Structure 1
């Protein structure tokens, strides 16, 4: 209970910079129109129903928890947290069709499954955008992470463009300068960057997402990235050796602890065992490096869990649609022209 109170206070006092708003959306970082417990009167069991369904989903397939957490990142960083990652198009490609994520992004059916349960309880009340962030929060909780309060009240966007996903998402081989730029234009800080990167403590990644950069240093001749731990590289190379289907082979992002939300990600990064270039890059900035080192040496997850809750709230406020804008869809994977 004490941790929950601390987190709530954190969220209330969090300071955010003001930016010019996108028409029809709240200013990035402002969270205008959002509130903890937004559905308390209109759908009192909304968050409880999401958690119930998430328990079943993760019990059936534990890899879907990290998949749904990743889905939130892809939704929020492209046009804001508006559920547009779910939209389909009959005439052109949308966000979910952007390469390379189109081959590996998962969780669409599970969002629809949760949506159907909420539609039975409270028709046309809970947005797909809110379902995605609640499911991601519960994915963290169900892997032994914190269950923190999230703001809700988003409405769903009506536009989904492939080119937005290509331009707005930091690639896994991004350096620290690019990473900080991708985050800063979304009104997120260096601390949000290093804290949210810790989401890689759960889940697995396809070899195609990192092998060329980390194992072969883009040479094609087996020359590994010199920043990659020499004792760690041979095992990765065996898993991702040429001839294997790199779009199917998956590797633990947090070796030895892929299903537990803990601090071992930071221990691995500090020991040069970050799977992606973007993980290793956190050591190339004095502020992010200092945070990695502190979390790698921490004996308790309390500070990190508080920081993670605050960073998730910050990300969840990006370019949200609230009030009378947007819509509440019955089906999240609706077709748009």
Structure 2
């Protein structure tokens, strides 16, 4: 294919991408006129936060994922609940989320610069991108224009967030496909586990009671298993473990190498080896540069960020992310 044809194909892809995002009411540069420094403010605050607490990168990336998968990318994961009406952040899959203070702080800065303009849902999307960039990962353009939802119910998290003990097929059919995401999106977004940590309780069944008979998961690397048992005793709910050992503060492709070595924490991670497309992808990450993964990650993040968005006159622009107006 000649250079002119390649350029034509690339231009058509950009046009299709632009049409897709704008069809959802989102577009890159949505705040160019209404709050031109919005992304710069987010970036500046994220640089400050990452210097003080670099371990927040993983949780902030995860927060965007947990927001989008529960009733769409509407900032509902940020809302506070009550004793009688627990919110998403009170749901079992979300009780370990961290970084809400970071989002609140960024929102305060944006409200000072542009009152009532930038949604909390968009802040989550921009923060997730910057968390990746600031851990040496890829940059991607984030389409914005989301508005904030008013519904936040704890039980919705159990229905919409894939448990770490599910396998590839269960995650694809039960959680990703219904939201318009495919097998490749699972493979690529799982790579986000290259940064961050997990509580022992999220994978202790693989160490002590995999089949209900007090046994360990035989798919775990025999040298990795005793190291995990050293850190995580039975019924430990407080200790945290690196998801990408030795590289949990750097966004890279080493997670995929650990999957192949059977040195990952979750059944959902290990089950990538059950899928032919995933296995091929893992192999390419070992012998190639991370450029494919970096490009794909941005594409899948944009795709995920389009799930059930509120735009136009839907929802609201919250003044404070933790409470509805």
TM-score by length of 2: 0.92
| Secondary structure at 1:217 match in 2 | coil
Is the alpha carbon distance of 1:312 and 1:16 closer, same or farther for their aligned partners in structure 2, counting shifts above 3 Å? farther
- Counterpart position of 1:332: 321
Gaps of 5+ in 1: 1-5, 18-28
| Secondary structure at 1:152 match in 2 | coil
Q: What's the offset of the Cα at 1:286?
A: 1.1
Partners of 1:270 and 1:296 within 8 A in 2: no
Is the alpha carbon distance of 1:119 and 1:16 closer, same or farther for their aligned partners in structure 2, counting shifts above 3 Å? closer
Partners of 1:203 and 1:258 within 8 A in 2: yes
Q: What's the offset of the Cα at 1:296?
A: 2.6
- Give the Cα separation in 1 of the matches to 2:224 and 2:258: 10
- Counterpart position of 1:24: none
- Counterpart position of 2:311: 322
- Counterpart position of 1:236: 228
- Counterpart position of 1:209: 202
- Counterpart position of 2:90: 97
| Secondary structure at 1:311 match in 2 | helix
Q: What's the offset of the Cα at 1:136?
A: 0.5
TM-score by length of 1: 0.89
| Secondary structure at 2:54 match in 1 | coil
Partners of 2:88 and 2:94 within 8 A in 1: no
- Counterpart position of 1:25: none
Are 1:305 and 2:294 matched, yes or no? yes
- Give the Cα separation in 2 of the matches to 1:47 and 1:202: 23
Partners of 2:208 and 2:234 within 8 A in 1: no
| Secondary structure at 2:198 match in 1 | strand
Gaps of 5+ in 2: 1-8
- Give the Cα separation in 2 of the matches to 1:43 and 1:233: 51
**Which gives a bigger RCO, structure 1 or 2 (Cα 8 Å, sep 6+)?**
1
Match of 2:279 among 289, 292, 310: 289
- Counterpart position of 1:82: 74
| Secondary structure at 1:329 match in 2 | coil
Moved over 4 A (4+): 6-12, 14-17
Q: What's the offset of the Cα at 1:78?
A: 0.2
- Counterpart position of 2:150: 158
Partners of 1:124 and 1:330 within 8 A in 2: yes
Q: What count of residue pairs does the alignment treat as equivalent?
A: 315
Q: What's the offset of the Cα at 1:8?
A: 9.7
